[in-house]
Structure 1
């Protein structure tokens, strides 16, 4: 074990120009003790420097996680999927102070696994037609990246086109567990997620790199149950026992340790207060009406993650859904905000890459996702807009392969004043920014790819619902109290197709009481159980 007092020397062994891999999901898995030491040494001594930083999921809470490495010169190239909760990284990328490549989160988890198995990379159809496709932007997020070689190529396999994500050899990785024994075996009993830690460790060893693991506890060899070991000691080079786990080894952004988040306890969910009836809840309510019993569901961050679970709970249908999160969580009630990625009372918590295997294998019946911009062809941008470089996260992996996509978004953005009263929607002031645009800044979801994939796609807002058709976006529903010309058409940069069956959104969506959706939900059919008696 490397003691806290020896951490400085360990960080000193990271060579300039190395490729450093991290494994985290917001603050889940964040190795604060090690990351802070790297930051401190760089600020005081200027080393290590010129690193390539490789990570799959977004890995920050706006302050911690990989934000510790967001210093000009410390990292000169970053390869990741999401920086929405990493404002310092967003600034470095936007101002061309670092070469930035954005790849789909699931493909990065699979790339770690492919590299671990000795493969030169990973091929997939995920990303085709989006900004990741080298015929579009190749995942290059700024001019500095565009001046250098890309990581994605188009290849032909058995007469079909795929994207090939090329290997990125790793010199050092920093991952996290709860307990290590003297042989380096690592368990994760108090971690909220398993993530892709074992794949990152294996990939690092494949290239002869060093595996550093931060833990809370250090115990005698042979005292850990073998089936609880997530990372075997043969993969581990250095163990760091955090000296300040309350601040540097938190289970999540909000909790130092909550046994509910790792499945050790279950708590009653029926006592959660109902969400206030605002614009976000209206969107969530309309979206929930697309659900049916036993549906396998994925929830994205933002409005979907914050509303679909709570609304389903209020309506009494949550227990009959299979809610999943890209991080590896199946079942339970998902959390939102900086704790997105975990759930209360989860039924299973599997490894990150295997969740994406199921997603890319079209296992998801319905996914609920947010949008920043959409155009008349059904293309969606969530990755780069205005002065913000956010990245795609798992959005592309999930939306390209779900059987049905329900995009959830406010109709406009920036300072709107909208009230829900007496079963109607009232708009006193609209947002400064239109979301339905003639041209979007980046393609994160390809309408053409979706149509070619026989996929159903809906766009749900507080005042209108659109469906993606072969001809483009079709307006199918408008909210009660809304004027078609004033509140919808004049707030779009293009004119949608108007459905010949254009109808009013259900009024129960806009009332303070429960919608009473439970009866309608179960009328669609319900499988009472899986068990068959022989």
Structure 2
């Protein structure tokens, strides 16, 4: 019998190794799998490369990992924000690397990884420092920058509901990067607010099929995640 649920957030992240590339869902605080990230903090993995929309808020979740010096590189679209002071300090002191990638480009690089594509051309970033060293091609009078897929070792994602097969539905805009991150990682770990029985989810409403999910953990009353 397939049952992808595990007993705790700590069990869910136990095999994340030093030096892993980890995708982290969320747009600001919405869809941020904070409890999984706190479990990863306690687990102790180091030298991580984290991929997310932004670089963490306050001193929880992703920001807590950065503060504990577990993250060597941050790949994100919005490294600076009103609540991202931990990353700001570390970057100013040269204690963390940064790769800034436009938001749509991150999403499409993740999609390309999940779809088995070799890459894609985009007009975004042409003529800027973000295009330095990348292949450029003119198509129909416009210049495009070639971007490679963004594969990862693990994805940490928040969903609203999940069944034992790993089928997922999300809470409105808390979906954000979740579906494409589930497809782009070798191992996908999902934190859900509600565990449901197999067959309770409307097949037409399932956003992420269980084939893209490896482990699910229920956190019915999260302290931070939304």
Normalising by structure 2, we get a TM-score of 0.88
Aligned positions, number = 219
Task: Check whether the contact 1:28–1:191 (CA below 8 A) recurs between aligned residues.
Answer: no
* Deviation at residue 186 of structure 1 after TM alignment: 0.8
List runs of 5+ in structure 2 lacking aligned partners: none
Per-residue CA deviations over 1:257-316 (Å, capped at 9, x if unaligned) read: xxxxxxxxxxxxxxxxxxxxxxxxxxxxxxxxxxxxxxxxxxxxxxxxxxxxxxxxxxxx
Task: Check whether the contact 2:59–2:67 (CA below 8 A) recurs between aligned residues.
Answer: no
1:53 corresponds to which residue? 50
Per the alignment, do residues 114 and 125 of structure 1 end up closer, same or farther by CA in structure 2, a change over 3 Å counting? Answer: same
Per the alignment, do residues 77 and 121 of structure 1 end up closer, same or farther by CA in structure 2, a change over 3 Å counting? Answer: farther
2:193 corresponds to which residue? 216
Query: Counterparts of 2:55 and 2:96 in 1: how far apart (Å)?
Result: 17
Tell me, yes or no, if structure 1 residue 164 matches structure 2 residue 146: yes
Tell me, yes or no, if structure 1 residue 195 matches structure 2 residue 176: yes
Tell me, yes or no, if structure 1 residue 180 matches structure 2 residue 162: yes
**3-state SS in 2 of match to 1:12:** coil
Task: Check whether the contact 1:29–1:191 (CA below 8 A) recurs between aligned residues.
Answer: no
Query: Counterparts of 1:107 and 1:199 in 2: how far apart (Å)?
Result: 12
Q: Aligned to 1:41, which of 40, 43, 49?
A: 43
Query: Counterparts of 1:218 and 1:72 in 2: how far apart (Å)?
Result: 32
Task: Check whether the contact 1:187–1:231 (CA below 8 A) recurs between aligned residues.
Answer: yes
1:130 corresponds to which residue? 128
Residue correspondence of structure 1 range 148-159 to structure 2 within 5 A: 153-158=134-139
Task: Check whether the contact 2:22–2:152 (CA below 8 A) recurs between aligned residues.
Answer: yes
1:233 corresponds to which residue? 210
Residue correspondence of structure 1 range 333-412 to structure 2 within 5 A: none
Query: Counterparts of 1:160 and 1:26 in 2: how far apart (Å)?
Result: 33
1:110 corresponds to which residue? 108
Greater relative contact order, per chain length (Cα 8 Å cut-off, separation 6+): 2
* Deviation at residue 24 of structure 1 after TM alignment: 0.6
Task: Check whether the contact 1:51–1:74 (CA below 8 A) recurs between aligned residues.
Answer: yes
Query: Counterparts of 2:150 and 2:42 in 1: how far apart (Å)?
Result: 26
Task: Check whether the contact 2:56–2:84 (CA below 8 A) recurs between aligned residues.
Answer: yes
Task: Check whether the contact 2:123–2:144 (CA below 8 A) recurs between aligned residues.
Answer: yes
Q: Aligned to 1:90, which of 88, 102, 113?
A: 88
* Deviation at residue 155 of structure 1 after TM alignment: 2.2
Normalising by structure 1, we get a TM-score of 0.39
**3-state SS in 1 of match to 2:152:** coil
List runs of 5+ in structure 1 lacking aligned partners: 43-47, 135-151, 251-534
Query: Counterparts of 1:154 and 1:161 in 2: how far apart (Å)?
Result: 10
Question: 4+ residue stretches of structure 1 with deviation over 3 A?
Answer: 157-161, 190-193
**3-state SS in 1 of match to 2:104:** helix
Query: Counterparts of 2:125 and 2:84 in 1: how far apart (Å)?
Result: 23
1:249 corresponds to which residue? 225
* Deviation at residue 248 of structure 1 after TM alignment: 3.2
* Deviation at residue 171 of structure 1 after TM alignment: 0.4
**3-state SS in 2 of match to 1:70:** helix
